[in-house]
Amino acid sequence: MTVSREVELSGHIIDSGMMQSCFGVIMDLGGSFEVDEFDIGRSEVEESYARLTVLADTEDELQSIVHELHQNGATPSHPVDATLEPAPGDQVVPSGFYSTTNHHTEIRHDGEWIPVKRIEMDCAVVVEKGEDDEPCAYTKVLNAIEEGELVVTGETGIRVRPPERPRNREGAFGFMQGGVSSERPSESTIAKVAEAIAETKREGGSVLAVCGPALIHSGARESLARLVREGYVDMLSAGNGFAVHDLERDLYGTSLGMNTETLDHPRKGHKHHIYTISEIIRAGSIEQAVDEGLVESGVMYECIDNDRPFVLAGSIRDDGPLPDTITDSVDAQNAIREQAHEADMVLMLSTLLHSVAVGNCLPSSTRVVCVDINPATVTQLLDRGSAQAVGMVTDIGTFVPMLVEQLLDE
Dihedral, 29, 31, 37, 39 alpha carbons, nearest 10: 20
Here's the x/- map for a copy of itself, 264-303, by CB under 8 A: it reads as -xxxxxxx-xxx-xx--xx---------------------
Are 284 and 294 in contact by the 8 Å Cβ rule? The answer is no
Rounded to an integer, what distance in angstroms lies between the CA atom of residue 17 and that of residue 164?
Answer: 9
Rounded to an integer, what distance in angstroms lies between the CA atom of residue 169 and that of residue 148?
Answer: 47
Q: Which stretch binds a copy of itself (CB under 8 A): 22-30, 108-116, 197-205, 362-370?
A: 22-30
What is the DSSP secondary structure assignment for residue 396, as one 8-state letter?
A: H
Query: For residue 158, what are the β-bridge partners?
Result: 107
Q: Which of residues 238-257 bind a copy of itself (CB under 8 A)?
A: none
Rounded to an integer, what distance in angstroms lies between the CA atom of residue 195 and that of residue 173?
Answer: 9
Among 188, 293, 307, 409, binds a copy of itself (CB under 8 A): 188
What is the DSSP secondary structure assignment for residue 258, as one 8-state letter?
A: B
Shorter beta-carbon distance to a copy of itself: residue 37 or 134:
37
Residues 6+ apart with CB under 8 A from 349: 209, 210, 211, 212, 215, 224, 371, 396, 399, 400
Rounded to an integer, what distance in angstroms lies between the CA atom of residue 171 and that of residue 157?
Answer: 34
- Residue 9 three-state SS: strand
Give how far Cα 53 sits from Cα of 34, 50, 76, 372, Å.
5, 10, 10, 44
Q: Which of residues 77-96 bind a copy of itself (CB under 8 A)?
A: 88-89, 91-93, 95
- What is the Rg, in whole angstroms, of the alpha carbon atoms belonging to the chain? 24
- Residue 235 three-state SS: strand
What is the total count of residues that contact a copy of itself (CB under 8 A)? 119
Q: Which of residues 95-134 bind a copy of itself (CB under 8 A)?
A: 95, 97, 99, 121-122, 124
Shorter beta-carbon distance to a copy of itself: residue 3 or 141:
141
Q: Which of residues 123-182 bind a copy of itself (CB under 8 A)?
A: 124, 141-143, 165, 167-169, 175-178, 182
Shorter beta-carbon distance to a copy of itself: residue 136 or 141:
141
Among 208, 332, 378, 404, binds a copy of itself (CB under 8 A): 332
Among 219, 298, 363, 391, binds a copy of itself (CB under 8 A): 219
Shorter beta-carbon distance to a copy of itself: residue 58 or 182:
182
Query: For residue 237, what are the β-bridge partners?
Result: 210, 311
Rounded to an integer, what distance in angstroms lies between the CA atom of residue 163 and that of residue 91?
Answer: 30
Among 33, 173, 301, 310, binds a copy of itself (CB under 8 A): 33
Q: Which of residues 39-58 bind a copy of itself (CB under 8 A)?
A: 40-44, 50
Here's the x/- map for a copy of itself, 341-370, by CB under 8 A: it reads as ------------xx-xx--x----------
**Least separation in angstroms between CB 67 and a copy of itself:** 7
Q: Which stretch binds a copy of itself (CB under 8 A): 26-34, 128-136, 224-232, 297-305?
A: 26-34
Is 2 a residue that touches a copy of itself (CB under 8 A)? no
